[in-house]
Chains A and B, each alone.
Chain A
Amino acid sequence: NAGVTQTPKFQVLKTGQSMTLQCAQDMNHEYMSWYRQDPGMGLRLIHYSVGAGITDQGEVPNGYNVSRSTTEDFPLRLLSAAPSQTSVYFCASGGRGNQPQHFGDGTRLSIL
């Protein structure tokens, strides 16, 4: 059971570089989302998608882009990395309504 797969697990970038964090799910979930986890702040929603071709902003969307061309994949793009984007990023997927979300193992990203 793959569930939600995130790659890479670790990445170090320099300020101004671009990068795409990959997320794939094999559970045919409509809903997918990206969170960032920072010390003392819990998880905060960056972007989410309710289905292929549909995305929307969460609580902290600035500096990030997403797209949803297929049900399975939901990549997160950093166009010009900044030190403030140093964080652990989690992708999640789930059914609609009150269904629990399934999380990937995270990507630890450091921006120098």
Chain B
Amino acid sequence: RKEVEQDPGPFNVPEGATVAFNCTYSNSASQSFFWYRQDCRKEPKLLMSVYSSGNEDGRFTAQLNRASQYISLLIRDSKLSDSATYLCGNTDKLIFGTGTRLQVFP
């Protein structure tokens, strides 16, 4: 089993929609995680970190569920500019999932 797994998508949503991605992890010792955003043919950039208390930044909310070993990312009021691939990774080894592709349409 891969250490971090994601649904590759794509998720196609209209502008203004709320969309949620999940990421599951296999190593119960992992304490915290990242969500990175990667635009086409660009390097990944940090979106937010996720600790036990979760994290919220504007339209983005990330939660960590240790009992079920998954991390979620919620995007509210989707914008066209949110179209990208969202990578989930653990903070200890920086192991990433395959990424979830989001496409927001007008």
Query: Are A and B subunits of one complex?
Result: no
A-side interface residues toward B, CB under 8 Å?
A: none
Q: Using a CB–CB distance below 8 Å, which chain B residues touch chain A? A: none
